[in-house]
Amino acid sequence: MSFTHEELAVMDSIIARYPKKRSAVMPLLHYVQSLDGYVTERGIETIAEKLDLSTAEVTAVSSFYTQYKSEPVGEYHVGICTNTLCAIMGGDAIYESVCQNLGIKKDQTTADGKISLERIECNAACDYAPVVMVNWEFYDNQTPASVNELLDGVRSGNPPAPTRGPSKLRTWKENSAVLAGLSDGLAEEGLQAGEASLLGLNIAKSQGSK
């Protein structure tokens, strides 16, 4: 099935942001993922055609970055950091607890399509370890109990708000559109940089550094 005229027009508006249109390949991949839930063959072919690239070139990008999925994921995609610091602080225990709770393992999705699970090498938020992300939104300083409570909220249709960022957890497709550069109007909501992230800066300022 082809993309609609409206969807193709959005792609053209994304391409128009860049002086060289091939630079739009990554946001376009996010955009087709927001429509289909993952990077489909039709998405790759359409992007290649619009950017005058081969499908192999587009596939090379989509297969390199783990944010692009080649298979469907859940409406809420959970990424548990199990890299060194998060693992030491409880990331491994969180992962095992979530696997038991959901009855799935990494790269699997619950039977109802609601939740999928990924082991993340680093969520780039070591100051709040252990960290879990849902649809790339931060949930900081987690425990097995708090993450399972989060997932219970997702299952019931009432997920708690991210620790930082918007006041509402958006779906996988909705956040993929944001990553494509389409505004959801929530950029100014919530805490952007918390106390732990700003600690070094505040100490430097207190000592007279500029």
CATH number at residue 100: 3.40.30.10
pLDDT at 198: 74
Asked whether residue 208 is assigned to any structural domain, the reply reads: no
- The per-residue pLDDT for 52 is 97
Measure the CA–CA gap between 48 and 162, rounded to whole angstroms.
35
DSSP-H helix ranges across 25-133: 25-36, 41-51, 55-64, 84-86, 92-102
Q: Flag whether 176 is in a domain.
A: no
* Domain co-membership, 81 together with 167: yes
60 and 86 fall within a common domain: no
Q: What is the mean pLDDT of each run of 10 residues along the chain (210 residues)?
A: 94 97 98 97 98 98 96 96 93 96 96 96 90 95 96 93 90 97 82 74 78
33-54 burial: b if 16+ Cβ within 10 Å, else e: bbbbbbbbeebbebbbebbebe
pLDDT digits (tens, 9 = 90+) for 5-63: 999 999 999 999 999 999 999 999 999 999 999 999 999 999 999 999 999 999 999 99
In a domain, 105, yes or no: yes
Task: Give the Cβ contact number of residue 107 at 10 Å.
Answer: 12
List phi, psi (to 5°) of 117. -130, 140
Structural domain range at position 83: 76-171
Q: What's the pLDDT score for residue 210?
A: 62
Domain total in the chain:
2
Looking at the structure, tell me whether residues 105 and 163 fall in a common domain.
yes
Q: Is residue 207 part of a domain?
A: no
Largest alpha-carbon pair distance within the chain?
62
Rounded to whole angstroms, how far apart are CA atoms 29 and 25?
6
